[in-house]
């Protein structure tokens, strides 16, 4: 196996498990509503069901890794994610889509939690930074890919879009298949108790960041396409910008952290996230929307990289337990928020209250993240 093989496999995992599996749904949402596959509220509920699956996958990933072995668990998860794309190509209503989008979320959670330890366990210490950077970039690359693939296929029809995503995910599954290393599964960890110190504030701020990220992650293309009446093409263009920003976010965050320290960089990231989620409430003109999209994309992934580094800085050997709590807390907060925002949109018929919820959470995260 090439020394780059595991890194390639890790890139495939985040690209399929998060970049495509989660984020390709955002530009599909307005098209599904316009084609009467789902109502807007039902489409939002389906996105929340995917968040719920991701939460379950992230929480159960270590157990799945121990039960199946790391290589088999990762292979199974990436194939499951690809298969769920294909199953969503049939117009079966909300009851048909919910189990497949939930299973896709579970697969994404397993890939996100297990791929990192699998790759980091076999690459040379000098290459671990590169490996982590490539894996996080997979999220942004998946968003950018979905922003180009989905609009190009929507004129052909929604089934073609879903099946093409299935084909791309299947190709990446094949690419990763022989490259997964055979490493030991994560050990059973006794999760640390959190008290009101810097570690507890980090976990709480990171969870609130998940709430703040949800309006952009789940609703941005629909807000542009239907909320502002600019059409699915414009919605996908903004989504492409979001993906490019997400791909660049980790490197930018790391560079800032090297200059001013991780704690100050994390605080600055929470401020940037608050500005990004609050801008649509102030202005819906293009400059404000472009800045909001860029800040939303870069902080969604950039804050994840900073939180992981900050957990290691604060907790040392206990950082895997802290990171697991943080990941599950982020997913749980986003799952609950997803259902709340779907209900709120159905009740109000407007996207702006969704950004209002995100802004309140972002400001609370700013207060908690003060160094």
What are the extents of the domains in the chain?
A: 1-187, 194-371
With residues binned 3-state (H G I as helix, E B as strand, rest as coil), the percentages for the chain, rounded to 5, are 85, 0, 15
CA distance between the termini of the chain: 44
Domain 194-371 has CATH 1.20.1250.20: yes
* C-alpha–C-alpha distance, residues 216 and 178, integer Å: 35
**CATH domain 1-187 topology:** Growth Hormone; Chain: A; (1.20.1250)
Cα dihedral 174, 176, 182, 183 sign: negative
140, 14 contact by CB (below 8 A): no
Q: How far apart are CA 342 and CA 219, in angstroms?
A: 10
Q: pLDDT tens, position by position, for the chain (371 residues)? A: 567 888 899 999 989 998 898 888 878 888 898 899 988 888 878 888 898 898 899 889 889 999 999 999 999 999 999 999 999 999 988 999 999 999 999 999 999 888 877 887 787 766 666 676 677 778 888 888 888 888 888 889 999 999 999 999 999 999 999 999 888 877 676 655 656 688 889 999 999 999 999 999 888 988 999 999 998 889 888 988 998 998 888 778 878 888 888 899 999 999 999 999 999 999 999 999 999 999 999 998 889 878 877 877 777 666 666 777 888 888 889 888 988 998 999 899 999 999 999 999 999 999 999 98
Question: Is residue 70 left, alpha or beta, with left meaning phi > 0 and alpha meaning psi from -120 to 50?
Answer: alpha
Determine whether 196 is exposed, middle or buried from the number of CB atoms within 10 Å of its CB (0-12, 13-18, 19+). exposed
What angle separates helix 128-153 from helix 5-14, to the nearest 10 degrees?
40
Say what the pLDDT of residue 168 is. 95
Spatial distance between the Cα atoms of 346 and 189, rounded to a whole number of angstroms: 41
Domain 1-187 and domain 194-371, same fold? Reply is yes
């Amino acid at each position: 196996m090439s020394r780059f093989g595991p890194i390639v496999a890790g890139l495939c995992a985040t690209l399929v498990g998060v970049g495509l599996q989660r984020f390709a749904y955002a530009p599909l949402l307005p098209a599904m509503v316009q084609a009467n596959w789902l109502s807007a509220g039902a489409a939002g509920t389906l996105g929340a069901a995917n968040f719920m699956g991701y939460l379950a996958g992230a929480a159960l990933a270590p157990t799945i890794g121990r039960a199946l072995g790391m290589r088999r668990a990762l292979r199974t998860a990436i194939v499951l994610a690809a298969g769920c794309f294909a199953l969503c190509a049939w117009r079966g209503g909300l009851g048909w889509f919910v189990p497949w989008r939930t299973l896709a979320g579970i697969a994404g959670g397993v890939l996100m939690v297990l791929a990192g330890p699998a790759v980091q366990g076999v690459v040379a210490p000098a290459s671990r930074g590169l490996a982590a950077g490539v894996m996080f970039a997979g999220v942004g690359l998946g968003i950018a890919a979905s922003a180009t693939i989905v609009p190009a296929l929507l004129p052909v029809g929604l089934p073609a879009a879903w099946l093409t995503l299935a084909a791309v995910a299947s190709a990446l599954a094949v690419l990763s298949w022989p490259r997964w290393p055979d490493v030991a599964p994560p050990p059973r960890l006794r999760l640390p108790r959190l008290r009101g110190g810097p570690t507890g504030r980090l976990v709480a701020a990171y969870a609130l960041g998940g709430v703040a990220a949800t309006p952009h992650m789940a609703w941005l293309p629909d807000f542009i396409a239907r909320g502002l009446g600019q059409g699915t093409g414009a919605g996908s263009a903004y989504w492409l910008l979001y993906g490019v920003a997400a791909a660049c976010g980790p490197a930018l965050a790391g560079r800032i952290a090297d200059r001013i320290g991780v704690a100050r960089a994390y605080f600055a990231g929470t401020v940037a996230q608050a500005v990004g989620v609050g801008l649509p409430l102030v202005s819906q003109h293009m400059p404000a929307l472009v800045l909001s999209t860029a800040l939303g994309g870069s902080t969604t992934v950039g804050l994840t990289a900073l939180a992981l580094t900050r957990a290691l800085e604060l907790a040392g050997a206990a950082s895997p337990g802290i990171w697991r709590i943080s990941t599950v807390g982020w997913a749980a907060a986003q799952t609950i928020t997803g259902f709340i925002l779907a209900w709120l949109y159905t009740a109000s018929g407007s996207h702006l209250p969704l950004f209002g919820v995100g802004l309140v959470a972002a400001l609370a995260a700013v207060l908690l993240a003060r160094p």
